[in-house]
Amino acid sequence: MALTKITLQNFRNHASSQLAEPKHFNLLVGENGAGKTNVLEAISLLSPGRGLRRAPLADLARKVAAGGAQQAFAIGATLIEQGQTSARLGTYTEAERPTRRLVRINGADASASALSEWHAVAWLTPSMDGLFTDSAGARRRFVDRMALAIEPGHAKAVNQLETALRERNRLLEERGDARWLDAIEAQAAQNGSIVAETRARLVSRLSDELSALPAEPFARPILTYRPGGPTTPEELLAEFARNRPRDRAAGRALTGPHRDELEVVMAMADRSPGPPAASCSTGEQKAMLIAITLAHGVLAASGRPSVLLLDEVAAHLDPVRRKALFERLRAGKAQIWMTGTELAPFAEIEEEAAVWRVSGGELERL
């Protein structure tokens, strides 16, 4: 068990909702627009980052009425480990500061990054189906989110790298003090090396998990981490210094971990590399994305509570793949939350699941 006593206050279309006594499988069923995904989004915000929709905070608080005043929202949950309460997690906004997300852990103020020290949250949503044809930046964010669920310190290194690169860009444009530029590049090189190492380590561990999976019924992806430049602090520092004129002209650093790429190809029956994921069919891409998500779930659930959010997954799988998905989820340690417009696709696990009917932002336990 991971989370229980989950509460939503003034979040999206939920005025006041509670999910008590969840199970390993948890199902949210209801019509489109009922508020199912809103529950998953709320749970995703009990982890660092902007949640599964990456929505601005101002869009999350419930409006009193059309055109009405915006309210502050609050999300809370109790974390259970081995049958015992280990923490109370909460995130919220305040009416006077609607664009700042606050976090409390066990009643004390905390940073959002601290949430990942208590549990891991991962998700798969329909909007991620285009990951393989999206930008390299989208795939870097995907890798970073997976890495954060396993190595909580990754967020700090990524944030410090991005901050240093922005400051470097500013100094290059303004032709600022060379000594200050040296110091900023040293920060970027140090944190960039940490980021690159963590990403490479994650992709390697995912590849090990994926290699153990059968090729069917889910297509097996082959992952390759392509660094955007040198990966050691010394080499990165030298690269930044050497490329100052070029980067000044471009207005940005053209080499470094912010240019990393995750390459994905589909494995053939003999396990040799096949076509790039971007050129595979929609069904093959979906199957590979599910395989990556399941492999990551195994890693994230090692040694601490883990939650996996699957939005509208079952309805888009054929019966064979749906059965295989449930079997793998059943064998895993993560707490599972899934959404659907009807119960029929979940017939195989309905008896062992906690089920809520969602309608107009209200929940009814079935």
Amino acid at 148: L
Cα–Cα distance measured from residue 28 to residue 294, given in angstroms and rounded to the nearest whole number: 20
The one-digit pLDDT tens for each residue of the chain (366 residues) are 689 999 999 999 999 999 999 999 999 999 999 999 999 999 999 999 899 999 999 899 987 655 556 679 999 999 998 888 999 999 999 988 888 999 999 999 999 989 988 999 999 999 999 999 999 999 999 999 999 888 988 989 999 999 999 999 999 999 989 999 999 999 999 999 999 999 999 999 999 999 877 667 777 899 999 999 999 999 999 999 999 999 999 999 999 999 999 999 999 888 889 999 999 998 889 889 999 998 998 888 877 789 999 999 987 788 888 998 999 899 888 999 999 999 999 999 999 999 999 999 999 999
Contact assessment for residue 170 and residue 253, using Cβ atoms and an 8 Å cutoff: no
Amino acid at 215: A
pLDDT reported for residue 277: 96
Cα–Cα distance measured from residue 89 to residue 235, given in angstroms and rounded to the nearest whole number: 41
Question: Domains of the chain (ranges plus CATH)?
Answer: 1-119+305-366 (3.40.50.300), 130-303 (1.20.1050.90)
Task: Label residues 169-196 b or e (16+ Cβ within 10 Å = b).
Answer: bebbeeeeeeeebeebbbbbbbbbbbbb
Distance (Å) of CA 15 to CA 7, 54, 74, 139: 10, 21, 10, 34
Cα–Cα distance measured from residue 17 to residue 76, given in angstroms and rounded to the nearest whole number: 11
Report the run of H or E that residue 51 belongs to, with start and end: none
pLDDT reported for residue 67: 57
Strand order in the sheet with 335-340: 120-124, 306-310, 335-340, 25-29, 353-359, 362-365
pTM of the predicted protein model: 0.90
Cα–Cα distance measured from residue 359 to residue 31, given in angstroms and rounded to the nearest whole number: 7
Q: Tell me the three-class secondary structure of 150-194, residue by residue.
A: HCCCHHHHHHHHHHHHHHHHHHHHHCCCHHHHHHHHHHHHHHHHH
SS3 275: strand
pLDDT reported for residue 68: 57
SS3 358: strand
In the block, residue with structure tokens 């101002």? 58
pLDDT reported for residue 70: 63
Classify the phi-psi angles of 82: left when phi > 0, otherwise alpha if psi is within -120 to 50, otherwise beta.
left
Cα–Cα distance measured from residue 297 to residue 291, given in angstroms and rounded to the nearest whole number: 10
Identify the sign of the CA torsion 262, 295, 153, 135.
positive
Cα–Cα distance measured from residue 300 to residue 191, given in angstroms and rounded to the nearest whole number: 23
Q: Which candidate, 266, 324, 331, 334, places its Cα nearest to that of 297?
A: 334
pLDDT reported for residue 107: 95
